[in-house]
Amino acid sequence: MYPNYRYHPQHYYPAPPSVHPDYNYNNGYPPYPYDRQQSIRGQATWTDGGQVTKCEIPWSEDEFMTTAVGDTSPYQCGDTLKIRNVSAPVGREIIVKVVDQVEGYPPNKINLHRRAFQALGVSPNVGVINIEIIPSPELELEKWGKYLLAVTQTAYPEYDITDYRSSGKSVLSSTQTKESYDFILQSHQETIKVQGNVIYNPNTDRIISFDIKELN
């Protein structure tokens, strides 16, 4: 499935990011250090993004499941984060990529793209919601997992990826390694499980084949 699809990030020259116009990002939150692998509570606002970002990664990456973080944040350009809504509706989760930075922005607040904000189950009219930011160290270490996440998000543009896990890695031969990941996808009507598989040459890091399929 999708045998000819290749993921090629677009690049833009850096420029100041777009931020929510009515929110004081520094209100009551002086900068202080956070552990990169620590889950933290904070807040999220939203933006429609812009043509350019400081990370040189477009807001449209991964079907707009993207966010900006502060320039003192422990999270870096290209990092993958799980965001949990701890306001109503409590428990809704999404996975986003860091694509921009906001100068002077507190490290425990993020600025989601509007479509990612809505995927947490709230209207943009709300403006600000309470969230939990959960780093995704497994996916950060597994580049093929991030590759398959991007492929799956592109193949299912009407769904939001809310969770993932590695489901296996096997050596097929000296020139072929297979990795598999399971993704949980949610729409307004249903929740489905999708498995992504990639076979690559570990000596050259070139993809031999990949596929995605829905699981019962």
Both tokens assigned to 176 = 């072929």
All structural domains of the chain with their residue ranges:
40-135, 137-215
Mean pLDDT for 92-114 is 92
Q: What is the pLDDT of residues 138-188, one digit of tens each?
A: 665 578 888 898 899 999 999 999 888 889 999 999 999 999 999 999 998
**What's the pTM?**
0.65
Q: What's residue 68's pLDDT?
A: 97
Tell me which residue has tokens 């492929």. Answer: 151
Task: Kindly provide the b/e burial profile for residues 176-188, where b requires at least 16 CB atoms within 10 angstroms of the residue's own CB.
Answer: ebbbbbbbbbbee
Cα-based torsion angle of the residue sequence 142, 61, 39, 103 in order, rounded to the nearest 10 degrees: 120
Q: Measuring CA to CA, which residue among 154, 163, 72, 87 is closest to residue 120? A: 87
Mean pLDDT of all residues in 185-197: 94
Q: What is 137-215's CATH number?
A: 3.10.450.390
Residue 52 clears pLDDT 50, i.e. is over it: yes
Give the torsion sign (CA, 155, 140, 55, 76): positive
Structure confidence at residue 2 (pLDDT): 38
Q: Which of 68, 41, 65 is nearest to 131 (CA)?
A: 41
Which H helix or E strand runs over 192?
strand 191-201
CB–CB of 40/127 below 8 Å?
no
Please, are residues 30 and 65 in contact by the beta-carbon 8 Å criterion?
A: no
* Four-way CATH pick for 40-135: 2.40.40.10, 3.30.1330.40, 3.10.20.30, 3.20.20.390: 2.40.40.10
